[in-house]
Structure 1
Amino acid sequence: MNSIIKHFLYDAKKFLFVTHRYKSVVILLLLVGYYFCLPKSLFNNPTSSVIESREGILLGAKIANDEQWRFPANDSVPYKFKQCIIQFEDGYFYHHPGFNPVSIAKAFVANIKSGKVVRGASTLTQQVIRLSREGKKRTYFEKLIELVQATRLELRDTKDEILNLYAAHAPFGGNVVGLEVASWRYFGISSEKLSWAEAATLAVLPNAPALIYPGKNKSRLLEKRDKLLHKLWNEEIIDSLTYKLAITETLPEKPFALPQIAPHFLQFASSKNKGKKLKSTLDFELQKRTNTIVKRHYETLRQNQVYNAGVLVMDIETKKVIAYVGNTPTTKKHQKDVDVIQAPRSTGSILKPFLYAAMLDSGELLPNTLVADVPTQIAGYSPTNFNEQYAGAVQAKKALARSLNVPAVRLLQEYGLEKFREQLNYFHQKDINKTSDYYGLSLILGGAESNLWDLCKAYAGMASTVNHFTETSSEYFSNEFGNPVFLQQENYNFGNKTQEKNVFDAGSFFLTLEALKEVNRPENEEAWEFFDNSKEIAWKTGTSYGNRDAWAIGVTKKYLVGVWVGNADGEGRPQLTGVNSAAPLLFDVFDALPKTTWFKTPFDALTEVTICNNSGYLASPICPNTTIKVPNAGANFKVCPYHKLIHLDEKKQFRVNASCYPLEKMISESWFVLPPLMEFYYKSSDANYKSMPPLNIACKNNDASQMDFIYPENNSKIILTKNFRGKTNEVICKIAHPKRESSIFWYLDNTYIGETKTFHEIAILPSVGKHQITAIDELGNEKTIFIEIEKTS
């Protein structure tokens, strides 16, 4: 009997153990299933790209990929909307575990009695689950799934996080999804600024989003809103006065357009941050003012059939973009959607300051050095100045300020095209990506393309190099020329401090900025320095070939403004120049910026030298001189080659020498003498220039050079063109002679061809091949050059 009982107890224990083990496994599986029943991310819908100013004000937004206006979720739900939605949808939201059994029971009884669904019982948590499971049928089984997932969501997220999910994904009519975009679309303000009536209106919409449309629904929407406001009053959430004022507010008539204060910046910033809400570095008020300035100038520019312009404003100290206008408010026909700030365009003269800085830095130029401005032909390339005139010789800093083309090309050839092209890599101009051979000497006059963004960062780097050098112990930062920052949470990385310069030293950049400060301002700005509130601005213009692109970039110690004006399709227009078209816009934007002080002098990057007053070279013992500061490498520059010690007779009327005049009666003087070709143009532009007195006719002429060819240059290759009648054009040979009244006798291949007096020009028509041209004046001075006439194609 005992054995039977023991066997029975053993079987019972075994049965219970097996049974409980199965239950345990089932319970464990159910718990695992419950734990994983909720997706890690409830919503994977595409969101709109949203841009705010640095103050948090909406600048613009792009519709999501699914054509819905759906902003990325905010961090929290505004107080007014939170109270409204809870009172309207789920009064026990903060007390239930994801579902409300009392509401479910009441809804079940009401629906059974009526034979149809007349009352819902979904909590806000359940509605979040339903929104995430869009497209599912509203069956009791689906309701059960929603209930289970709602309880799981309550265990995973806080109540405020759940409410935030609802506010971000609730439907508000049409293609408007989420509280924030609904607030902008229906009331034109952010959700934080909603009134109680506006918040109540939006709170009732997800329950019946079709009510937002005007017409017969308006009265129903108003009824639901006012009912909710009354409940808020009853619950003492708002007082009676607020309630009375709220019910008098009108409903929205039609959707507002979303702000489009910086549409091209939105396009630029969202290309790398699609579907995100970004707080930018743009200053809201400055952006609006810049928009207004651009619009005003556009009204003038389009009268000349110029339709596009872009403006970029940066804070140089932080390298943050504070205004970005990518185009004018033109039409689609004139490509209003093109962001011209990022578009590659011909640089015109905008790179000239960097060549000037390069030559100062290498000690191959001083600011006051005279550089040749004469007709020039280099390997078949013949640059001309914008006004097609020549000064003969001009100070380097003035050649930069006046943006003279011929001196720039000659300096580039002297400095080295390949060396300068390589140094441009330090400035990270992504569109300047060809070799020096591809660009040739036209690189300095617009033969290359860059964009306003890259050019502005180069000019900003120039300014910040000077700032940092003077603000530190004469140190440099390793990363001065990187991309500007345009997101508020980011800070520009200037790199490490170093004693070594990045590319050019602070002294060279400072003197470049000093030269650019002297650029002639456009009409109505000429007297700028006489006004107390005037700003010292270093600025440069550029105009591309064919008047297709007009540039103006300016810097102060604190700010940079960059402007491009033209047509996005590349069509050139008369009078479209940097000075006429871009500069006025630039100065209007600077007027919208606070005044700042000028750059501090980087004394440790400069050295004091004595220069010749007339030539700007280092002074020789016979030069009238002055002392200036130049980059340290400038101390090794050339000594003045233009001052000569000449001997005059007692009356200083003639030059003399030992062959014709007693030594004891000679008067020796230092005389400033330019080469004949430079002198020919220089003396017409400088009234103080005096040619050397003529040599006494009784004296032997020991001067090596009395005259020079203006055109053609020695060893030049020439292609003879034809006029409209088909006749071959002649070559016009020109000579510069210190005595214009002298007679010059011309020879072609040792054959006499004519004589000129006063105006030393003669036309020749050589055959194809190499030729010798010789000019001899009446005193026997001779000049010979060689040319080659090439076949026409």
Structure 2
Amino acid sequence: MFKHLKIFIQTRWFWLLGFLLFTGLFLDFTFPFRPRVPYSTQIQSADGTVLHAFLSKDDKWRLQTEVSEITPLLRKTLIHKEDRFFAWHLGVNPLALGRAALRNLLTGRRTSGASTITMQVVRLLEPRERSYGSKFVEILRAFQLELHYSKTEILQLYLNLVPYGGNIEGIKAASLLYFGKPPQLLSLAEITALAIVPNRPSSLRPDTRTATLLNARNAWLHRFEKENLFEKSTIQDALREPLEVRRRAAPHEIPHLALRLKKEYPDQPTIHTAINRQKQRQTEDLVKNYINRLRGQNIHNAAVLVINNETMAVEAYVGSADFTNPYDGGQVDGIRAVRSPGSTLKPLLYATAFDKGLITPKTVLNDVPTNFGGYEPENFDQRFNGPVTVEFALANSLNIPAVKILKEVGTPVLVDQLKKAGFQTVSKQAKDLGLSLILGGCGVTLEELTRLFAAFAHNGEVRPLTFGSSGVLSKKNKTTGSGIISPGAAFLITNVLTQVTRPDLPTNFDNTYHLPRIAWKTGTSYGRRDAWSVGYNKRYTVGVWVGNFSGQGVPELSGAETATPLLFSVFNSLDYNSPKGWYRAPEAVAVRLVCAVSGDIPVEFCTHKIVDYHLMGVSPYHRCTHRKWVFTDAAAKLTYCPYCLPTSGYVRRSYPNFAPELIAYYELKKLPYEKEPPHNPACERVFRDGAPFIVSPNEGSEYYIRRDEPQQILLSCQAANNVEEVYWYINDKLYQKSAPTAAVFMAPPLGRVKISCSDDKGRNTDIWIEVKRL
């Protein structure tokens, strides 16, 4: 009978336990306990220092304490004081509950709650009126918390939620705001003081009740000594340590980046950036001091971005000279502000032309007045240099050669390159961009430009910037790690931009600045509103913008004189005498001899040869044509073509093969040059090649004239160097005969007008324009 009774009892207990287990799981599912703590957003540097903190949504300073910040000393002290059996119970300590209940019954009042750390977490997460019913709910919730979270996670929640007076919650916020240090640097005396504040957060508030807190701290330290928690010498040192507490302001460094990341990651309590504190502060000081010196010139702001080329991590982010200055737009983020880039996009254009086999560094271009379908650009110094090499044009930031190259490359091609490099505003403006794009006729940001130049440092490969050391990337700047130019083209650009014999060096730089070994490019926008200087070496890429956020131009503002000194200072601060090596030519880059006059493959006329880099299998292989053979009479007064060549008495001579635009420039400036004699007037052969090029008016253009004051239109052309006269026709009627370089004006008839230009060799060009009345 006892055997059957035992089986019956065991069966009932089995079913009872199963029922309780099922009920507990059902209640856990029905009333889940998934705490969502509204933490303050904290922005950390690469070494874990809190650089910036924001109030939580409920206006609390509640900074999330990570497990790595809970030191063994903090853990040991807190658990010993609050819950010695924390590691063994399941959220509730039955012995402590029983002892507290008995004491409360004997005294007739509540003297102890016997709350474990787990139960305190429940109470902090779900505050309730203090009653036995609330205690029962806390017990149930404590079981749930233990079911879903580890002991370490529960302790972490406790440390994040305990009150410290006012709107400060959590050990990390208290540590930073009261002691000015992170939790892992707290001493035993400081830990003990903070451990006892949550029991009486108002009466023991550290910044207002310091003396009371000091006495309470010492009492607990004596208690620890009696209980042999720490060595006696350790306790004595803690007792002698003064309690230096004051309320500090929350960290507010890197404000521009902090606001940016908080907006991009609103639900992330801790954002780990790649900011290097030392480099950040050095850069901030350089920017602030530099702008203070420029205020007398009405220049009030600057922005600097520093990228580590090895990791693409942003190690310094300075959005303005002074974030707290509202008068000069200090809160504007100059790193993301859309501005005109000036000439800073030229390296990408020339690199693209290298890859397309259009040019090499020694290719000669004509820097002369040129009309590109109505667009007539000028150089920054409003001068022209005549024939120049590509590397000279880029190093001196000449505008006309750049526009010529862009016209040959094609604006859509360059726009596509910029899109691949992540230029957002250019992508939006793509349909409206023309040849002025390369001179600053588009919108870019300092971030985009700096990332582009980092691609030159990475063999032409664009990589996304890393704002966070733990993989936090800017959502708006995610670009694939793809090559936009070849490693060879990147090397050629770097080689040109490293030259120091160039006009965009600061005046007297050799007496004022230590010139770092970098490749760099400057830019100045139209109206002198923006000064740029972006440079790189093996370790860093640094972008600098200087100007006014109001857009006000300043006559003294320029990339060379205003932005480059700050660029040099930043590089000297970050990487003085960098031990890293310099760039070496990749296998695709080779050298060859070229004609110094043209940059092409030498022929018999080329007496002066120089060495030039080229991309094997890509760069052009043109034989030099800077001179040509011409048949003349013995006195070199006439030239003959093969059709009028006499049977005797002629001589073969060489003459320069100048382009018509270059001849026009020489004539305009009255510069001497070697002219080819006029052609044999007795020759009646009509030539078609080399017809005059009509520069003005523009083909297909519409012109409007007023009734009361008819305007005249300029007729201008470029003809071959052996042309002495040209003939202008209006609607097939001869209008005027003139020299090729002479300016001719005419009052056009209304309607569709045909304009023709013929030279004295019989070659002709026709264009059509539309003339309307206003």
TM-score of the superposed pair, with normalisation by structure 2: 0.82
Mapped to 2, the partners of 1:284 and 1:459 lie a distance apart of 24
Deviation at 1:630, TM superposition (A): 0.5
User: Is the contact made by 1:622 and 1:645 (CA closer than 8 Å) also made in structure 2?
Assistant: no
Which residue is equivalent to 1:511?
492
Pick aligned residue for 2:674 from 678, 688, 692: 692
1:612 aligns with 2:595: yes
More off after superposition, 627-636 vs 350-359: 627-636
Mapped to 2, the partners of 1:265 and 1:710 lie a distance apart of 57
User: Is the contact made by 1:80 and 1:194 (CA closer than 8 Å) also made in structure 2?
Assistant: no
Pick aligned residue for 1:600 from 553, 568, 584: 584
1:674 aligns with 2:655: no
User: Is the contact made by 2:497 and 2:520 (CA closer than 8 Å) also made in structure 1?
Assistant: yes
Structure 2 unmatched runs, 5+: none
Post-superposition Cα deviations, 1:121-141, rounded to whole Å, max 9, x if no partner, equal 323232122223x22111112
More off after superposition, 620-629 vs 201-210: 620-629
Mapped to 2, the partners of 1:490 and 1:22 lie a distance apart of 56
Two-structure CA RMSD over aligned residues (Å): 4.6
Which residue is equivalent to 1:471?
none
Which residue is equivalent to 1:351?
345
Pick aligned residue for 1:43 from 23, 28, 35: 35
**Change in CA separation of 1:130 and 1:694 when aligned onto 2, cut-off 3 Å:** closer
Which residue is equivalent to 1:5?
none
Pick aligned residue for 2:181 from 189, 192, 198: 189
**Change in CA separation of 1:633 and 1:526 when aligned onto 2, cut-off 3 Å:** farther
1:268 aligns with 2:261: yes
User: Is the contact made by 2:356 and 2:619 (CA closer than 8 Å) also made in structure 1?
Assistant: no
More off after superposition, 53-62 vs 226-235: 226-235
**Change in CA separation of 1:268 and 1:526 when aligned onto 2, cut-off 3 Å:** farther
User: Is the contact made by 1:655 and 1:693 (CA closer than 8 Å) also made in structure 2?
Assistant: no
Deviation at 1:410, TM superposition (A): 1.9
Pick aligned residue for 1:57 from 27, 49, 57: 49
SS in structure 2 at match of 1:210: coil
Deviation at 1:680, TM superposition (A): 4.7
More off after superposition, 419-428 vs 59-68: 419-428
Pick aligned residue for 1:590 from 565, 571, 576: 571
SS in structure 2 at match of 1:205: helix
Please give the residue correspondences for 1:766-781 in structure 2 after superposition, counting only pairs within 5 Å. Answer: 766-769=748-751, 770=753, 772=755
1:631 aligns with 2:624: no
Pick aligned residue for 1:311 from 295, 304, 309: 304
Please give the residue correspondences for 1:17-416 in structure 2 after superposition, counting only pairs within 5 Å. Answer: 24-34=14-24, 42-76=34-68, 77-91=70-84, 93=86, 98-100=91-93, 103-104=96-97, 107-108=100-101, 111=104, 116-132=109-125, 134-150=126-142, 153=145, 159-211=151-203, 217-234=209-226, 235=228, 237=230, 239-240=232-233, 243=236, 246-261=239-254, 263-265=256-258, 267-268=260-261, 271-272=264-265, 274-300=267-293, 303=296, 306-330=299-323, 331-332=325-326, 334-416=328-410
Which residue is equivalent to 1:3?
none
Mapped to 1, the partners of 2:274 and 2:489 lie a distance apart of 31
Which residue is equivalent to 1:538?
519
Which residue is equivalent to 1:6?
none
**Change in CA separation of 1:774 and 1:245 when aligned onto 2, cut-off 3 Å:** same
Pick aligned residue for 1:550 from 528, 531, 556: 531
Amino acid in the other structure paired with 1:372: N
Mapped to 1, the partners of 2:204 and 2:636 lie a distance apart of 99
User: Is the contact made by 2:207 and 2:247 (CA closer than 8 Å) also made in structure 1?
Assistant: no
Which residue is equivalent to 1:472?
none
**Change in CA separation of 1:655 and 1:593 when aligned onto 2, cut-off 3 Å:** farther
Mapped to 2, the partners of 1:269 and 1:483 lie a distance apart of 19
Deviation at 1:191, TM superposition (A): 0.8
Deviation at 1:714, TM superposition (A): 5.9
User: Is the contact made by 2:713 and 2:747 (CA closer than 8 Å) also made in structure 1?
Assistant: yes
**Change in CA separation of 1:237 and 1:214 when aligned onto 2, cut-off 3 Å:** closer
Deviation at 1:626, TM superposition (A): 3.0
Post-superposition Cα deviations, 1:446-487, rounded to whole Å, max 9, x if no partner, equal 333333333333332232126xxxxxxxxxxxxx32312333
Which residue is equivalent to 1:715?
699
Amino acid in the other structure paired with 1:253: R
User: Is the contact made by 2:535 and 2:541 (CA closer than 8 Å) also made in structure 1?
Assistant: yes
User: Is the contact made by 2:698 and 2:769 (CA closer than 8 Å) also made in structure 1?
Assistant: no
1:482 aligns with 2:482: no
SS in structure 1 at match of 2:532: strand
TM-score of the superposed pair, with normalisation by structure 1: 0.80
Post-superposition Cα deviations, 1:532-566, rounded to whole Å, max 9, x if no partner, equal x7433222233334444433322223321123344
Post-superposition Cα deviations, 1:260-309, rounded to whole Å, max 9, x if no partner, equal 23541562376147324233322221122122222233334555555554
Post-superposition Cα deviations, 1:566-602, rounded to whole Å, max 9, x if no partner, equal 4446555544443344333322222223223321111
**Change in CA separation of 1:269 and 1:393 when aligned onto 2, cut-off 3 Å:** farther
Post-superposition Cα deviations, 1:418-455, rounded to whole Å, max 9, x if no partner, equal 33333444333333325855322233233333333333
**Change in CA separation of 1:317 and 1:765 when aligned onto 2, cut-off 3 Å:** same
**Change in CA separation of 1:433 and 1:181 when aligned onto 2, cut-off 3 Å:** same
User: How many residues align structurally?
Assistant: 752
Please give the residue correspondences for 1:741-752 in structure 2 after superposition, counting only pairs within 5 Å. Answer: none
Mapped to 1, the partners of 2:7 and 2:225 lie a distance apart of 61
SS in structure 2 at match of 1:85: helix
Mapped to 1, the partners of 2:141 and 2:107 lie a distance apart of 29
Deviation at 1:142, TM superposition (A): 1.8
User: Is the contact made by 1:226 and 1:247 (CA closer than 8 Å) also made in structure 2?
Assistant: no
Which residue is equivalent to 2:449?
455
**Change in CA separation of 1:111 and 1:53 when aligned onto 2, cut-off 3 Å:** same
Deviation at 1:150, TM superposition (A): 3.8
Deviation at 1:713, TM superposition (A): 5.4
Structure 1 unmatched runs, 5+: 1-8, 467-479
1:640 aligns with 2:655: no
Deviation at 1:350, TM superposition (A): 2.6
Which residue is equivalent to 1:417?
411
**Change in CA separation of 1:303 and 1:534 when aligned onto 2, cut-off 3 Å:** closer
